[in-house]
Amino acid sequence: MTDFVLEFPPQFRWGTATAAHQVEGNNQNNQWWVWEHTAQRIQNGDKSGLACNWWQNAEADFDHMAAMHQNAHRLSVEWSRIETRDGVFDSAALERYRAMLLALRQRGVEPMVTLHHFTNPIWLEEQGGWENLELVVPRFQRFVVQVVRTLGDVCDLWCTINEPNVYAVMSYLAGRMPPGKRELGAAVRVFRNMLIAHVAAYQAIHEAQPQARVGLAHHMRVFQGLRRRHPVDNALSHLLSDVFNNSLLMALVQGRWHWLLRLGAPQSAAKLRGTLDWIGLNYYTRQRVMFDHRGGDALFSSLVNTPGVIMSDYDYGEIYPQGMLLFLRQLASYRLPIYVTENGLPDHDDDLRPGFIVQHLRMVWQAIQLGCDVRGYYHWSLVDNFEWNEGWRMRFGLIAVNTATQDRTWRTSAYLYRDIARANALSSAIVCQYTPELQSLFVA
Ligand code: IFM
C-alpha cells in the first residue's frame, strides 16, 4: 500500500473538551446537584460527587494533555460557583479559574472557555431559569461580563452557550434533565431565550474585550427517514433537521426565526444576525426517523437506530463519519471559521474509538481540502466524566478514570490521538499501527 500523510494546517488546534459539572466535583450550588440528590432519574442512582476532582487538581489532567501533544482545551466555568447568590460574586472561585487557565497556557494549551454548559445556579432556577426571559438575559449578561473582565487577560476565545437545542429538548421536552418538563412550548421558549441571551453575551463580551473571538457550540445530528421511500418518514426527518440543526443558524446567521420559533417570539430575529465570530460543531451521530401516529419522541417522530449497525455503548449512537463532512460543508457555506467543539463516543473497552477518531478526522481533513475553514478539533473527552442522566456508565474518555481512586489509565485511543497531534497529520504509519483495518479508506 502507498504511504500517505494527510497534513493539517500549521496552526491547527488539537484539543479535548470538558464541562465544569462533569469534571470539577462538588458543584453543590446548581440545579444538577439537587436533581442528582432528589429526582432519582439518573442511571444507577449515580451522582457527580467528586467527579474528576478538577476543582482540587485539574492540573494533573492538564499534564496528560501536554503529554498527548494537545495545544487546545475547551472547558467551562461554573456559574453557580462564581455567582453564589443573585448578584454576589465569589472572587476566590474566579481566582481558581484564573489559575487553571494559566496552568493550561503554561503547558502550551490554549483555553476556550464555555460560559454556560447545562448547569444553572439554584437561585436562578428557583426564579424560572431559562424560561424567564426578563430574568435570565440580564443575569447571564452580567455574569458573562464579570467573567470576561476578570479572566480576559488569560482568555479571548469564548463559547457563550453549549448546545442550546440539546438543553431545551432534554430539559423541557424529553424531561430527562432538570427541571424534567415535557412541554413543547416551554422547550421552544427556552431555546429562543438562549439565542437571545447569546446575542446579549456576544455584545457584552465585545464591549469588555474588543479582540475577543466569540461563538457557541451547536449540536448537529443527522436525521434520516428509516424507511427509504416512505414520504412521511422523510418529511419528518427534514422537519426535525430544520428545527434541531438549522433554526439556530437561521437566527444567528440570517436573522430569521424558523416558523416554530416565531410563534410568540418577543422580538424579531433581525438583531440576532451576525453574532458569531466562529461556529462550533458538536457532532456525534445519525438518527433514523419513523412516523409514529401516537406522537413519538417529538413532532410525531420516533427516533430509532439504523437496523444492524454497530452501536457505541448503551446504544448511544452509530458511527456515521459522513455526517461530519456534511455539517462542516454546511457551516462553511456561512463563511465562518469553524471549530469541531465536540466529537466522541462512549466506549468503555475502546474497541471502537480508534476507528471512530481516524474516520472522523479523515472527514475533517477532507473538509479542509474542500476549502472549509476548520481551525481545530476538540475530542469529547479527555477523561471519563459524569455523563448527566447517564451517570458514570458511559465512558467517553481518551483516559479511563477510576472514580474510587482517581487513578488514570490511557486507553489505546489516547496514544493514537497523541501521535496524530504530534504529527499534525494522519499518516499511513499511524493508521497502520492503530487501525490497520481502515487502510483501504485511504487508497486514492
Ligand atoms: O457529555 C455531553 C456534553 O456535556 C454535551 N455534548 C454531548 C456530550 C456527550 O453526550
Taken in order of first residue, the domains within the chain and their CATH numbers are 14-409 (3.20.20.80)
Listed in sequence order, the DSSP H helices in 294-392 are 322-332, 353-369
Q: In the structure grid, which three cell numbers stand for residue 38, read together?
A: 432528589
Ligand 1 centre and the CA of 223: distance in Å? 18
Q: What is the pLDDT of residue 209?
A: 98
Return the pLDDT at 49. 98
DSSP 153: T
Peptide bond into 381 cis (omega under 30): yes
- Give me the pLDDT at residue 1, please: 64
Report whether residue 24 contacts ligand 1, using a CB cutoff of 6 Å: no
Strand partners, 147: none
Report the separation in Å between the CA atom of 400 and the middle of ligand 1, taken as the mean of its atom positions. 17
Angle subtended by helix axes 353-369 and 322-332, to nearest 10: 30
Nearest ligand 1 atom, CA 19: 4
CA 271 – ligand 1 centroid, Å: 29
Ligand 1, atom 4, lies closest to the CA of 19
Ligand 1: distance of its center to the CA of 57 in Å?
22
Quick check: CB of 347 below 6 Å from ligand 1? no
What is the per-residue pLDDT across 205-227, written as a single tens digit (0 to 9) for each?
A: 999 999 999 999 999 999 999 99
CA proximity to 146, closest of 90, 203, 217:
90
The dihedral sign for the CA sequence 433, 434, 437, 440 = negative
Cell numbers at 332, concatenated: 462553511
d(Cα 254, Cα 270) in Å, to the nearest integer?
8
From the CA of 117, give the closest atom in ligand 1. Answer: 4
Q: If phi over 0 gives left and psi between -120 and 50 gives alpha, with beta otherwise, what is residue 295?
A: left
pLDDT at 39: 80
Distances (CA, A) of 102 to 123, 147, 154, 225, 424: 30, 15, 7, 47, 24
> Strand 72-76 and strand 13-17: pairing?
parallel
Q: Which of 386, 387, 393 to mutate to test the pocket of ligand 1 (most atoms within 8 A of CB)?
A: 387
Q: Which of 342, 353, 383, 390 for mutating ligand 1's site (highest number of atoms within 8 Å of CB)?
A: 342
Return the best residue to mutate from 282, 284, 388, 390 for the ligand 1 pocket (most ligand atoms within 8 A of CB).
Answer: 388
pTM of the predicted model as reported, rounded to 2 decimal places: 0.98
Tens of pLDDT, residue by residue, the chain (444 residues) = 689 999 999 999 999 999 999 999 999 999 999 999 998 999 999 999 999 999 999 999 999 999 999 999 999 999 999 999 999 999 999 999 999 999 999 999 999 999 999 999 999 999 999 999 999 999 999 999 999 999 999 999 999 999 999 999 999 999 999 999 999 999 999 999 999 999 999 999 999 999 999 999 999 999 999 998 999 999 999 999 999 999 999 999 999 999 999 999 999 999 999 999 999 999 999 999 999 999 888 889 999 999 999 999 999 999 999 999 999 999 999 999 999 999 999 999 999 999 999 999 999 999 999 999 999 999 999 999 999 999 999 999 999 999 999 999 999 999 999 999 999 999 999 999 999 999 999 986
Establish whether residue 387 lines the binding site of ligand 1, counting it when its CB lies within 6 angstroms of any ligand atom.
yes
Cell of 278: 466562529
The crossing angle, in degrees rounded to 10, of helices 412-423 and 353-369 is 20
